Amino acid sequence: MNNPAYLLTMQNAFEDLQRRTLSHIPCDFARLIYLASMRDYNCAIYHHEGLAARYGQEQAREALQASHRDIFSKLVYLPLEGLVTELEAYVRASHEAPDDLIDAWQELEPYRVAVPMEADSTMVQLFLSNIRLALEVLRLRQEQSQACQPVSSLPPLPAR
Amino acid sequence: MMQGFAFVAVAVFLVVLLLLSAGHEKDEDLTPGAKRNRGRLGSADALQSAELVLRIFSPKDREFIELRHSPRLQRLYQEERRKVALHWVRRTSREVSRIMRHHRLNARYSQNVNVAAETKLFGQYLELRFLCGVLVFLIQLLGPHALVDLASYTGKLYEQLGRTMRDVSAVSNVASSGDAVP
């Protein structure tokens, strides 16, 4: 659809999504997961009741799809260090035990579903590869902090 | 006799490079959408891949990993980058072949084919495929940062050569001035 009214409505839906929803999500990685969760697993069509009621079903879908693509490419072009920070923020925001989350993500790789449809194949490869590396960095940090913890948390030795 | 062997060896090497550059890759990391997109000719995303190369070989990422001082992480990094780099090279090679195939089909129905231009284009195509083959070979043999490493090694060697040259000429100057003294 290329008619100006349609494009304007879609643009409004896109901005509304950024302003009212995505800006309240703490980091880009969490935004990516949120947008991927708006997509039906079976048919890959995006759904957002509020947005669809205000701007129309099709415009809402396109706004969600465009936002998903934007966030995805932003994360792909992020240096590894930045991605680790994003993932760390996501783990904190999830309120899950970091060890459990890292284990589950390394084992099941659920982040694969966060990739938008029709994404460039090299971008997909780089993204998945960077997530695997970022998870390993987080695991390493966890191991290091756990290795330091018992020593500092030991009760003081009784005086002789 | 020896020339014949050398010719055959070069030909075999070229064929191996071409086969390497067109080698199959595992598609396990790709979504069906990405697989479909991989086959798209001249897509806008394909143009982005030049920028992606800078990300794949980013020295910042490499430094970041090295600063963790973990052999396990460094091994994983090398493996992961090798995979992505090989994917990119093979994809480029495939796209070039596809573009050439399309061009060949179009040229077949063309009324006025410029032989010189076509020959030049074919030469460039072979050069690109050859370079892709060399890249695959180097990445598999020496790792994803092989070219960067080779370039920096060449730079160091060049500096070393310059220093040695200066030393050698300084020594010979001293020697020749010593000879001149009665």
Domain parsing of chain A, residue ranges: 4-146
B126 lies in the same domain as B177:
no
Q: How far is A160 from chain B (nearest CA, A)?
A: 40
pLDDT of the residue at A116: 96
Q: Give the number of beta-carbon pairs within 8 Å between A and B.
A: 97
Q: What is the pTM of this model?
A: 0.75
| Contact (CB<8Å) A122/B91 | yes
Neighbours of A49 (CB within 10 A): 9
Cross-chain residue pair B61–A129, CB shorter than 8 Å: no
Residue A29's identity, in one-letter code, is F
Number of domains into which chain B is organized: 2
Domain shared by B65 and B117, yes or no: yes
In the numeric block, the tokens 């079903």 are attached to A57
- Say what the pLDDT of residue A5 is: 86
> Could you tell me the maximum CA-CA distance found in chain A, to the nearest angstrom?
86
- A150 pLDDT tier (thresholds 50, 70, 90): low
Which of residues A55 and B14 earns the better pLDDT score? A55
Q: Which of A120, A123, A133, A137 to mutate to test the interface with B (most CBs of B within 10 A)?
A: A120
Give the angle subtended at the CA of B52 by the CAs of B23 and B38, to the nearest 5°: 45
pLDDT of residue B175: 65
* Residue B39 confidence (pLDDT) above 50: no
Among the listed residues A127, A114, A118, A115, the one whose alpha carbon sits nearest the alpha carbon of residue B55: A127
With 70 as the cut, is the pLDDT of residue B12 above it?
A: no
Contacts of B29 in chain A (CB under 8 A): 124-125, 128-129
pLDDT tens string B118-141: 888 888 888 888 888 888 888 888
Using one digit for the tens of pLDDT, what is the confidence trace for B13-30?
555 555 555 555 554 555
Same domain, B121 and B167: no
- CA A74, A76, A80, A85 dihedral sign is positive
Instruction: Report chain A residues whose CB lies below 8 A from the CB of B95.
Output: none
Which of the pair, B166 or A100, is modelled with greater confidence? A100
Residue B32: pLDDT over 60: no
What's CA B89's distance to the chain center, in Å? 8
Percentage of chain A beyond pLDDT 90 is: 79
- Do B84 and B11 lie in one domain? The reply is yes
CB B84 within 8 A of CB A125: yes
Residue A129 confidence class, pLDDT cut points 50, 70, 90: very high
What is the spatial distance between Cα A147 and Cα B70, in angstroms, rounded to a whole number?
Answer: 15
Same domain, residue pair B118 and B139: yes
To the nearest whole angstrom, how far is the Cα of B3 from the nearest Cα of chain A? 42
CA separation for the pair A115, A128 (Å, rounded):
9
Say whether pLDDT at A3 is over 70.
yes
Give the per-residue pLDDT at B43: 43
Residues B53-105 have pLDDT tens digits of 888 888 899 999 999 999 999 999 999 999 998 998 888 888 888 888 888 88
Does B175 lie in the same domain as B120? no
Which three-class secondary structure state does DSSP give residue B92?
helix
Phi, psi of B68 (to 5 degrees): -75, -20
What pLDDT is stored for residue A19 in this prediction? Answer: 94
- A124 to chain B: closest CA residue: B30
Q: Which residues contact B109 (CB under 8 A, 6 or more apart)?
A: none
**What is residue A46's DSSP assignment?**
B
Q: How much is the pLDDT for B44?
A: 44
pLDDT at B72: 95
Amino acid identity, residue B100?
Answer: M
Whether residues B168 and B102 share a domain: the answer is no
- Are the C-beta atoms of A121 and A76 separated by less than 8 Å? no
Q: CA of B94: how far to CAs of A27, A43, B88, B126, in Å?
A: 37, 30, 10, 13
Rounded to whole angstroms, the Cα distance separating A32 from A70 reads: 9
- The CA-CA-CA angle for residues B101, B102, B106, to 5°, reads 115
Collapsing DSSP to helix, strand or coil, A39 comes out as strand
Q: Are residues B127 and B151 in the same domain?
A: no
Helix or strand (DSSP H, E) at A143: helix A121-153
Which residues on chain A place their C-beta less than 8 Å from a C-beta of chain B?
44, 76-77, 79-81, 112, 115-126, 128-130, 132-133, 136-137, 140
Residues B140, B161 within the same domain: no
Q: What is the pLDDT of residues A113-128, one digit of tens each?
A: 999 998 989 899 999 9
Kindly determine whether residue A79 and residue B37, on different chains, have CB atoms separated by under 8 Å. Answer: no
Chain-wide mean pLDDT for chain A? 91
Q: In chain B, which residue's Cα lies nearest the Cα of A137?
A: B73
Q: Which domain holds residue B153?
A: 146-182
Angle B139-B142-B147 from CA coordinates, rounded to 5°: 65
**Is residue A86 very low, low, confident or very high in pLDDT (cuts 50, 70, 90)?**
very high
B1 found inside a domain: no
pLDDT tier for residue B6 given thresholds of 50, 70 and 90:
low
Q: Do B29 and A122 touch (CB under 8 A)?
A: no
Looking at residue A20, the DSSP 8-state letter turns out to be: I
> Is residue B176 a part of any domain in this protein?
yes
From A34, A109, A24, A110, select the one nearest A67 (Cα to Cα).
A34
Q: What is the mean pLDDT of residues A54-80?
A: 95
- Examine the domain organization and report whether B100 and B15 are in the same domain: yes
Q: How many CB atoms lie within 10 A of CB B172?
A: 10
Are B51 and B86 part of one and the same domain?
yes
B144-158: pLDDT as tens digits: 877 676 666 666 766
Asked if residue B116 and residue B128 are part of one domain, the reply reads: yes
